[in-house]
Structure 1
Amino acid sequence: MSKKTIAYLLMGVLLLALGLTGCGGQQPAGGGEKAAVLKVGTEPSFAPFEFQGENDKEYAGFDMDLIRAIGKQMGMQVEIQSMGFDGLIPALEAGNIDVVISGMTITDERVQKVSFSKPYYKSGLTIVTKQGNDQIKGFGDLAGKRIGVQIGTTGADEAKKIKDAQVREFNTPPEAFMELKAGGVDAVINDKPVNDYYMKEAGSKDAQQVGEPLTSEDYGIATAKKNTELSEKINKALDELKKNGEYDKIYEKWFGKKP
């Protein structure tokens, strides 16, 4: 066999090996192309948006169904991670997660740190007091009162503006509601849908929701400032879900009415 023939054979083997390597990268073991993973951060104690029942393994709620539908629309596998609400944006900035969906209000302060999707839900702040409390009828009656809030939320921000208020911050809304029931605070300020859900599920016997909503707030899905491509894809998927009716189905499932 000549040296030229040997060279041709070696070149053929090399090209074949390169071709197989390329195929192997596109078809991972197990068959089929592996979907990209969307790492989602949430604080799962904000029913009906995100929560976990005692016997449930998966997180449930409006936000959870929505982000899974968005992931499916984008062709991505959704992985949800639980963390404290005040740690969500730092985790996003550090690159530990790709997305935050956690009943997060779009605010000027947060926009300085992260990018938000188009608003997907309109909310507002309301007050819950103990049943029979006739001293607090609205936000104007909260001066000097003991107020329970969730740490890192717009409810906490607004409570701190109230004159002489004694603001107590809790990690989750249920902890604030428990403190209200125990008499440790006079009122709880939280997002209206969360207060509505608490009243419906557990609080109507010993609590009451009073006054008109203080604010009108938009919830958004947060992404890192530098990840403009992902933000655009999320907005596109959200638009598609609204067009094909899937968003309406999810909304009606959790709020009992169409948006």
Structure 2
Amino acid sequence: MDRPGGPIVPAMHHFRRLIPALVLLLLLPLAEAGARWEGSPTLDRIAARGEVRVGLTGDYKPFSWEEPQGHFEGLDVDLAEALAADLDARLVIVRTSWPTLMEDLKAGKYDIGMGGISVTEERKEQALFSAPLLTDGKAPIARCEDKARFATLEEIDREGVTLIVNPGGTNEKFARANIRKARLVLHKDNATIFEEIAAGRADVMITDAIETRIVAREHPELCAINPDKPFTRAEKAYLLPQDKAWKARVDEWLAAMEASGEKRKIFGKWVE
């Protein structure tokens, strides 16, 4: 029976006509995501090998620390594991160092550098950085009995003071730019550098404020000096090859970690 205005069209007929459009709407986000990642040699390599290579120095608490038998742990080790899971890839940790950090990246030894890397103009000329993880700055750490002696750069940069620093990174760069009178000692092993201060073979070190807090907890004889008022301000982020699609993928993952609260949870485990 017809009703006024024309025949009754079965609802199933309309639904069948809508199916192609619904499928297109469901597939569109996937297609757009795929388009964003097209042309990324890093992502292509990760997919082909089934592994993501993360460069870590293993000498900078709380970001990464190498224990005996080559075991790595720390804030960025946990985040590296989360990134690998998000990429559906196996995590491979590549040992790098502050002096060879940029050379190893350019040589393609790792896909992403993690572990408390500061964003600098010099590094930005050669690589890309992810969205910032945190903002930090340079602050002193010394024996607690000497805490009052080294509150300012002027008090540190005096004759008779021995400032110790690990080579190849922003700590050495800062020291060479600001220290003129104090004796500057380079100590290659960042894992034992604070023992030199505790033993009295050096007076003070200037490093990132976050590290001074962590070290002071582990060495009661050492005190972080004004970590809430550092000498400088700098962002820390992940170091990436000049691959914009790979950077976009890492930034998207970081945003998701932030939104889910997982990043805050990992930071809380190692920092708070």
Which TM-score tier does this pair reach, normalised by the shorter chain?
A: 0.7 to 0.9
- The aligned residue for residue 209 of structure 1 is 224
CA contact (8 A) 1:127 1:188 kept: yes
Q: Take 2:165 and 2:117, find their aligned partners in 1: how far apart are those partners?
A: 15
TM-score, structure 1 as length reference: 0.79
- The aligned residue for residue 100 of structure 2 is 87
Mapping of residues 217-256 of structure 1, within 5 Å: 217-225=234-242, 227-256=243-272
CA contact (8 A) 2:132 2:235 kept: yes
Decide which moves more: 130-139 or 98-107. Answer: 130-139
Once the two structures are TM-superposed, the CA of residue 139 in structure 1 deviates from its matched residue by 2.1
- The aligned residue for residue 47 of structure 1 is 61
CA contact (8 A) 2:96 2:104 kept: no
* 1:1-42: CA deviation from partner (whole Å, max 9, x where unpaired): xxxxxxxxxxxxxxxxxxxxxxxxxxxxxxxx9872111111
- The aligned residue for residue 170 of structure 1 is 187
How large is the Cα RMSD of the aligned pairs?
Answer: 1.9
- Structure 2: state its 5+ residue gaps: 1-46
Could you tell me which amino acid in structure 1 is paired with residue 169 of structure 2? T
- The aligned residue for residue 76 of structure 1 is 89
Could you tell me which amino acid in structure 1 is paired with residue 167 of structure 2? I
SS at match of 1:185: coil
SS at match of 2:216: helix
Mapping of residues 29-178 of structure 1, within 5 Å: 36-54=50-68, 58-133=71-146, 134-144=148-158, 145-160=161-176, 161-178=178-195
Q: Take 2:216 and 2:150, find their aligned partners in 1: how far apart are those partners?
A: 17
* 1:188-231: CA deviation from partner (whole Å, max 9, x where unpaired): 11111111111111x21x22222331112211111112x22211
Once the two structures are TM-superposed, the CA of residue 57 in structure 1 deviates from its matched residue by 5.2
Could you tell me which amino acid in structure 1 is paired with residue 193 of structure 2? A
When residues 135 and 57 of structure 1 are mapped into structure 2, their CA distance, relative to the original with a 3 A threshold, is closer
Once the two structures are TM-superposed, the CA of residue 78 in structure 1 deviates from its matched residue by 1.6
Q: Take 2:187 and 2:252, find their aligned partners in 1: how far apart are those partners?
A: 35
Which protein is richer in helix relative to its size? 2
Q: Take 1:209 and 1:251, find their aligned partners in 2: how far apart are those partners?
A: 19
How many residue pairs align between the two structures?
220
Q: Take 1:36 and 1:105, find their aligned partners in 2: how far apart are those partners?
A: 29
SS at match of 1:79: strand
- Structure 1: state its 5+ residue gaps: 1-32
CA contact (8 A) 2:61 2:74 kept: yes
Could you tell me which amino acid in structure 1 is paired with residue 53 of structure 2? K
